[in-house]
Amino acid sequence: MNIWSEEFGAETDAPILLITGSMSQGILWPEEFIARLTAGGRRVIRYDHRDTGMSGTVDFTANPYTWDDIKNDVYRVMDAHGLESAHLVCHSAGGLLGQFVAVERPERVRSLTVIGSSPLGGGEGQVIMRALMGQPQLEGSLPEPTPEFVAFYRTLMAAPPPADRHARIDAMLAEQRLLHGTGLPFDEDAARRLQERIHGRARDLSAVANHRLAAMAKPDFEPVGVLHQVKAPTLVIEGSHEPAKPGHGAIIAEQIPEARLTIVAGMGQTLPPEAHEELAAAILTHTAK
């Protein structure tokens, strides 16, 4: 499996590996945000998950895999860039991967930053699916997504697949608008340019569905009750207008020893320009320790 990656900054600087969410390309980490990190003296690496963007794609029936393999790609990218260890900065489902790596191979994680994520082993997927199906949540489960999130994805699940490129990009744009949240203005032109770029650089845009198949192939991928084993200094960041995982950041911070929680005003599930300065400053401070 070929994994596309690219590197920014000086090779002698402290390395940060950016891990994006499920079904997402590495370019969702904005260049403007990365520039702030490199200006602060960090070597930054981002990559496309398998079956996304410019990374390799597979026929899942012939070559099935699980989220263990997606997690192990983190080590493969680090090895390819000659990194024995790195600061992991992770977004959304990438945060689950980062937490798992921090538990499994603590010697490879200098520090951990999770943004807009859920606690490892918390059953985030089950919580979202129960909300979408209108089923009551189990006692002690994670907080549900917002009503707007539930309504959007219920409609999406009932809609026919987009018929052409224009319709697909419109659908991707609508999803980005939802995940952006309501706390900050939504720049539709910039968002459309991003979605056009995502669409244009994908080897096979439909291959991202393999991530769902990988989750179904091993539903118990996430170990439960292990976050107390995380030794890496941990920063947890959540937007004040998080639509998918509201309140999940506080739960991560409670379960990881000495983790710190930062709430970014106005931010939702995306990484908007208005938040870049605050996010970069927090990460630079955290990774300097």
The CATH code of the domain that includes 189 is 3.40.50.1820
Cα separation, 257 vs 237, whole angstroms: 16
- Rounded Cα gap, residues 246 and 181, in angstroms: 11
Q: In the chain, how many domains are there?
A: 1
Residue 163: its pLDDT value, please?
A: 87
Model pLDDT, residue 196: 95
At residue 289 the predicted structure's pLDDT band, cuts being 50, 70 and 90, is confident
Q: What is the pLDDT of residue 250?
A: 98
Which residue's entry shows tokens 């309504």?
Answer: 151
Residue 147 to residue 243: CA distance in whole angstroms: 8
Tell me the sheet residues that pair with 239: 264
Cα-Cα-Cα-Cα dihedral sign, residues 104, 119, 37, 5: positive
- For residue 245, which phi and psi values (nearest 5 degrees)? -135, 50
pLDDT at 111: 98
Give the range of the structural domain holding residue 213, as residue numbers without chain letter. Answer: 5-287
**The whole model's pTM is what?**
0.97
Write the pLDDT tens digit of every residue in 198-209.
Answer: 999 999 989 999
CA–CA gap between residue 94 and residue 116 (Å, rounded) = 9
What does the alpha-carbon distance between residue 100 and residue 119 come to, in Å, rounded to a whole number? 10
pLDDT bin (cut points 50, 70, 90) of residue 73 is: very high
Q: Is the model's pLDDT at 127 over the cut of 90?
A: yes
